[in-house]
Structure 1
Amino acid sequence: MLVARFYAPGDIRLEQAPEPTAGPGELKIAVVNCSTCGTDVKISRHGHHHIDPPRVIGHEIAGRVVEVGDGVEGWAEGDRVQIIAAIPCGSCAECTDGRFTVCSRQTSMGYHYEGGFAEYMIVPEAVLAVDGVNRIPENVDYAEASVAEPLACVLNGQEIAGVGEGDTVVVMGAGPIGCLHVRLARARGAARVFLVDLNRGRLDMSAEVVRPDAAICGDETDPVAEVLRLTSERGADVVITATASGKAQEDALRMVSRSGRISFFGGLPKDAPIIQLDSNAVHYREISIFGANGSSPDHNKRALELIASGEVPVADLITERMPLTDVHKAIETVASGTAIKVTIEP
């Protein structure tokens, strides 16, 4: 079978590999869709400390069960499934307390286990142990189901930040994650949602699809001043930084309302993780700043339900479909910002 293996930064190889067999407690699936994201770009360029190469990457996975290992119940050949990416251990102090997204022993598909840029893959016992295999609803296709994983992360972030009825929400970053944030904020009852990006082309492309109440190009205007103007100087109730930008995080503090909430959703580059933050603004204006990292198995289930119900449509966000042989092109397309969501179809 064909796989895409990461060996080193700048070295992802298309190779033939033996087709795997499901062992006890495992499932084997034929991968139908494995969508790409900015994390794949970062891995391709810089590697990752949790990846011991060579490793088949890809973690936004949907496919069809083709073999059921001994001891696995509830699944059969032909079942359509979506697989979680982040795998909590289920037994550490954080998991015991229900805080699965900050599991101290978390592992991940495409990092610790072989991922979805392959024709076939094994769903490890660790995934089934935490109920991390989800049945795809009949009205959801495989490509849409693969977007459940990033939507699950977005759901986690918005729940932490308390996005809800009547809120004015600013989403900074018009990539696929930003688009999902716009759509989910609407589904959660936000009154107005503004989308901000430096790249005019990407902003216009995404805004045409998700239709924010305002699309603000940070390369042409001061986004802080524009958000304040649009809110009669009050500021936004919630600001979500869905981009790897320290300036976006700093600007968030300047455009959020009194008692507002900020979600630092996008992580910063490892060599530049420090920002300047006005602590007095946080103190006197009673601003809350939240981190958001990954998703739990339950978030994945509920993300699939949001897609199936139509509350958060994702089909129109998938703007490029490519074969596995074009994996390098897919990753570079994500990096260029010329597509919203790119999916690989092995």
Structure 2
Amino acid sequence: MKALIFNGPNDFYYGDIETPECPENGVLIKVISVGLCGSDIRTFTSGHKKVKPPFVIGHEVAGIIEKSDSEYYKEGQKVMLNPGITCGKCSYCTSDKNIKNQCKNLIVPGMNFYGGYAQYMAVPAVGSTPEFLHILPDDFNLDLAPLSETLASVYSTHDFINVTKGDTVLVIGAGPLGNLHSAMAKLRGAKKVILSEVNQPRLDKAKRFDYIDVFVNPTKESLEEVVMRETNGDGVDVAITACPVGSAQEEATHYLRPRGKLLLFGGLPHDNCRVNFDSNLIHYKELQLCGGYSFDPVSFKAALDLIVEGKIDAGKFITHAIPLKEIKHGIEMTRTGEAIKVILKPWEE
């Protein structure tokens, strides 16, 4: 079969490898659509401690059951894989704190076993259950399904930061995550969403979405002035940094109202992950800061349902569907802002 083989940082190629067998009590998926995720781009460029090359990565996988040795699935069914396969047994999975996404024994396709940047993907028994492998309607467009992994992280974090009716929300970063945060805020009842992005083409792309009320390029106008104008000088209820920029995290505290909440969603580079917050600002304004990055099985299913039911218009997010062998073009479009979300097609030439 054709696959994309990762050999190390900035060293990957499209070629032939052996087609996997159907695992015992698992399934073999014919991969129809796989999402190009920002974390995969980081692995391609910088490597990952859990990925030992040569390897096939890719974890946002939608496809059709080619073979099944699982009691839950039959050949021909359309499916979407939840790539956060939790153990259900560790102290985090069994905690009443709703922190299954922090599972100590998390299994991730594209890290723990060969992922979806290939024409076929073997899913072991641990992932071939209704909790992790979701059957989709026969008439559903599989190109839309991979967005569910990205949306699931957003869905989960909005739950614990509790964006609610009447909130004004500032989102910094207009990539797939920032746009999904904007959409989720409106779904949860936010009265106003302000989107900030320094990349003008990316900001222009976001104007296709009707749930964003105010668009700001902070290189052209003061973000703080816009925020204060739009909130009558109070500041926003919630600020979300959906970009890997430390200075954006520091500055976001200045845009919050008293007892406002800041969600640090965009991870920073490992070699530049220190930031300097104004501690007095946090102290006297009684601000709340929290991180967020992943999801549990319940959040994943809820996010997938939002897409299947059309409550999130995935088609507006997925701007490009290209052959898998053109992944380098997809990475470049993502970086420049030409694309919001790229879907890769292993069977297209």
Whole-angstrom distance in 2 between the partners of 1:88 and 1:74: 18
Q: 1:174, 1:203 within 8 Å by CA — same for their partners in 2? A: yes
Residues 203-246 of structure 1, C-alpha deviations (whole Å, 9 max, x = no match):
01112334511000011122122212211111111111111010
Q: Where does 1:233-244 land on structure 2 (aligned, <5 Å)?
A: 233-244=233-244
1:319 to partner: Cα distance: 0.9
Residues 31-55 of structure 1, C-alpha deviations (whole Å, 9 max, x = no match):
0100112212211110111111111
1:86 to partner: Cα distance: 2.0
Residue 50 of structure 1: SS of its match in structure 2?
A: coil
Residues 113-144 of structure 1, C-alpha deviations (whole Å, 9 max, x = no match):
21111000011222236821111235631011
Q: Please give the TM-score of this superposition, normalised by the length of structure 2.
A: 0.95
**Aligned AA (2:164):** G
Residue aligning to 1:83:
81
Residue aligning to 2:260:
260
Q: 1:193, 1:213 within 8 Å by CA — same for their partners in 2? A: yes
* Range 188-197 or range 83-92, more displaced: 83-92
Whole-angstrom distance in 1 between the partners of 2:21 and 2:286: 55
Residue 227 of structure 1: SS of its match in structure 2?
A: helix
Whole-angstrom distance in 1 between the partners of 2:139 and 2:217: 36
Q: 1:40, 1:331 within 8 Å by CA — same for their partners in 2? A: no
1:183 to partner: Cα distance: 1.1
Residue aligning to 2:250:
250
Residue aligning to 2:304:
304
Residue aligning to 1:158:
158
Residues 267-324 of structure 1, C-alpha deviations (whole Å, 9 max, x = no match):
0110111101112222221211111121112111111111122221111111111011
- Unpaired segments ≥5 residues, structure 2: none
Whole-angstrom distance in 1 between the partners of 2:302 and 2:109: 20
Q: Where does 1:92-241 land on structure 2 (aligned, <5 Å)?
A: 92-97=90-95, 98-128=98-128, 131-138=131-138, 140-241=140-241
Whole-angstrom distance in 1 between the partners of 2:260 and 2:275: 19
**Aligned AA (1:76):** K
**Aligned AA (1:178):** G
Q: 1:179, 1:210 within 8 Å by CA — same for their partners in 2? A: no
1:27 to partner: Cα distance: 0.9
Residue aligning to 1:25:
25
Residue aligning to 2:323:
323
**Aligned AA (1:75):** Y
* Range 57-66 or range 95-104, more displaced: 95-104
Identity of aligned residues (%): 34
Q: Where does 1:21-100 land on structure 2 (aligned, <5 Å)?
A: 21-69=21-69, 72-97=70-95, 98-100=98-100
Q: 1:195, 1:207 within 8 Å by CA — same for their partners in 2? A: no
Q: 2:72, 2:130 within 8 Å by CA — same for their partners in 1? A: no
Residue aligning to 2:9:
9
- CA RMSD in angstroms comes to 1.4
Residue 208 of structure 2: SS of its match in structure 1?
A: helix
Q: 1:50, 1:111 within 8 Å by CA — same for their partners in 2? A: yes
Residue 94 of structure 1: SS of its match in structure 2?
A: coil
**Aligned AA (2:88):** G
Relative to structure 1, is the Cα distance of residues 105 and 130 closer, same or farther in structure 2, using a 3 angstrom cutoff?
A: farther
**Aligned AA (2:275):** I
Whole-angstrom distance in 2 between the partners of 1:123 and 1:312: 27
Whole-angstrom distance in 1 between the partners of 2:169 and 2:203: 16
**Aligned AA (2:115):** G
Residue aligning to 2:294:
294
Residue aligning to 1:278:
278
1:195 to partner: Cα distance: 0.6
Residues 181-209 of structure 1, C-alpha deviations (whole Å, 9 max, x = no match):
11111111111111111111110111233
Q: 1:28, 1:65 within 8 Å by CA — same for their partners in 2? A: yes
* Range 205-214 or range 287-296, more displaced: 205-214
**Aligned AA (1:111):** M
- Unpaired segments ≥5 residues, structure 1: none
**Aligned AA (1:233):** G
**Aligned AA (1:229):** R
Residue aligning to 1:341:
341
**Aligned AA (2:177):** I
1:88 to partner: Cα distance: 1.8
